[in-house]
Amino acid sequence: MSEVPVEAVPEPGRAPRPRRGGSRVLAIVLVATIAVGAYLWLTTVRWQRTASDWEAEAHGYADEVASLRMQLDGANSELKAARDQLSAATSRITDLANEKAQLGDENVASQQVLDYQTQVSAAGATVASALGQCVSGQEQLVGYLKEADQYEPADLARYEREVNALCADAEDANDALQRELRQ
């Protein structure tokens, strides 16, 4: 007779033990997922801060550009006013010189007119030169302000003060000439 193999039957009440390898893998995947999520969250927060800083800086530059444009408009207005004053002063000098030339006695009057015209011409030339320098300075300032991003704001402000002082001196000289011409 041949032997029939006998199979062992598990005992009732004893369950097989589950493998622990699957729960370890699951724990590692969970920890890795939390780490990646935390990294992504920190990266997002940093990016938001950086974007906010860049936006604030952009707003600052926009305000600076608006301010420089206002200065440019003011400089253009001053330039036009200086040109108008130069034209008026030149016209007035010419008119007064012509009026004085037509005065009385030819010899005495001519000498007086000549002396007066020489003084007025010299003063007029000084005023015209000063106003011309003012106009040139303002034109150069306008050029600088058009390309303000290439210059330091402090240097632009300093140059504007210098041009304004030059123009103020020219206007003072013009006012003195006008008072002299009214006498």
Query: Span 147-159, mean pLDDT?
Result: 88
Q: Please say if the pLDDT value at position 26 is more than 70.
A: yes
Contact residues for 132 (Cβ-Cβ < 8 A; gap 6+): 86
Mean pLDDT, the chain, rounded, equals 82
pLDDT tens digit string along 90-123?
888 888 777 777 665 566 767 777 777 777 777 7
Q: Where residue 8 falls among pLDDT bands split at 50, 70, 90?
A: low
Q: Please say if the pLDDT value at position 155 is more than 60.
A: yes
Please measure the distance between the N-terminal and C-terminal CA atoms of the chain and give it in whole angstroms: 157
For residue 17, give both structure tokens.
């033990």
pLDDT tens digit string along 37-95?
999 999 999 999 999 999 999 999 998 888 888 888 888 888 788 888 888 888 888 88
